[in-house]
Amino acid sequence: MMDVPAFVETFNPIYYAIPLFVILVCIEMLHAKRTGSARFEARDSFSSLAMGFGNSISGVLLGGIVTAWAMFIYQFRIFDIGFPWWIWPVAFVLDDFIYYWVHRLGHTVRWFWADHIVHHSSQHYNLTTALRQSWLSPLTLKFLWLGSVMILLGFHPLVIGIVSGFNLIYQFWFHTEAIKKMPAWFEAVMNTPSHHRVHHATNPIYLDRNFAGVFIVWDKIFGTFQPELEEEKCRYGIIHNIDTHNPFKIAIHEWLAVFRDMRHAKSLKDAMMYLLAPPGWTPDGSRATSKQIKARWLARTGGATQSEASADSTTAPAAASQTAAE
């Protein structure tokens, strides 16, 4: 095993960013109170903070599973890349590319959506929403495959951990309504508050769009980009909101819904489809996936106006986001 530089062994960017997160949340709250440019609801913000705290505890309790796997497969790496200076920007870009696909699967495979839905469950969009994170991510086992790609190529797991930390730090600041648009050149390349508001919106035109972490160019390359429209105000949450501020219900409600659907499935095939098909899939079409909601909206309105889109999404029979109440 190659020598690991001391700073790589000890550096965790998230720890250093936590004071910055707190400061920015306070600044946004004060700015919102003075200008009304962002919306806060005390119980919702408390739930988001509780989910963030639980995610940190989960990282301590379950993070060892991911670490053990990463160090195990590092033995089978194709290349010995080491720690040259140029590896850091390369690793950062490649990690963000993989993040795009992991995030996209988090919206299109229900097993992963059951974990990721936590982050989308708030009906508000502010910096506390960025902290609303899952407690059970390692149990989805997504680290076994997409999470292993860079390690098998020869990137040390600690390098990946550091660049992933910076990726998450970058994503914190754009969970806000206080910033409308960044300069055009920045909007063209980077993920921004405007782009990510689209991602969190439930409007049919916005569903399953803008999966990028740092670089919005991935969405433009792979056909999932949607700009925020002035005439189409974002509505946040999930299609059928769970209407609870209980952190434990937020953490597990979709897992319970998945297992309930599987238990009542009439065949093994249907049970597996409830697990692996897009959220909203049912064998009888009684609910709807995001694609089906979009198709019905387009057929009805042609994508013409905000009011028509609002009416259609309100009457849509189901969500790409399923809940325990369904």
Write out pLDDT tens, residues 52-61: 999 999 988 8
Dihedral sign (CA 89, 91, 93, 95): negative
Contact 232, 205 (CB under 8 A): yes
Reported as a single tens digit per residue, the pLDDT across 254-301 is 999 999 999 999 999 999 999 999 999 999 999 999 999 999 999 998
Question: Average pLDDT of 193-204?
Answer: 97
The reported pLDDT for the residue numbered 46 is: 94
**Among 36, 166, 6, which Cα is nearest to 96's?**
166
Rg for the chain (alpha carbons), in Å?
20
Structure tokens at 200: 């969190």
The reported pLDDT for the residue numbered 302 is: 77
Q: How far apart are CA 190 and CA 174, in angstroms?
A: 11
Using DSSP's 3-state secondary structure scheme, residue 190 falls into strand
**Among 20, 249, 23, which Cα is nearest to 118's?**
249
Phi-psi region of 24 (alpha: psi -120 to 50; beta: other; left: phi over 0): alpha
Q: What are phi and psi of 236, to 5 degrees?
A: -100, 165
**Among 264, 258, 295, 253, which Cα is nearest to 276's?**
258
Reported as a single tens digit per residue, the pLDDT across 115-131 is 999 999 999 999 999 99
Q: Kindly report which listed range (78-87, 140-149, 153-162, 280-289) carries the lowest average pLDDT score.
A: 140-149
Contact 272, 266 (CB under 8 A): no
Burial of 4 (0-12, 13-18, 19+ CB in 10 A): middle
The reported pLDDT for the residue numbered 311 is: 40
Q: Sorting pLDDT into bands at 50, 70 and 90, what band is 143?
A: confident
Helix (H), strand (E) at residue 49: helix 42-74
| Other CB atoms within 10 A of residue 26 CB | 11
The owner of tokens 């301590």 is: 60
**Among 65, 107, 153, which Cα is nearest to 320's?**
107
Q: Sorting pLDDT into bands at 50, 70 and 90, what band is 249?
A: very high
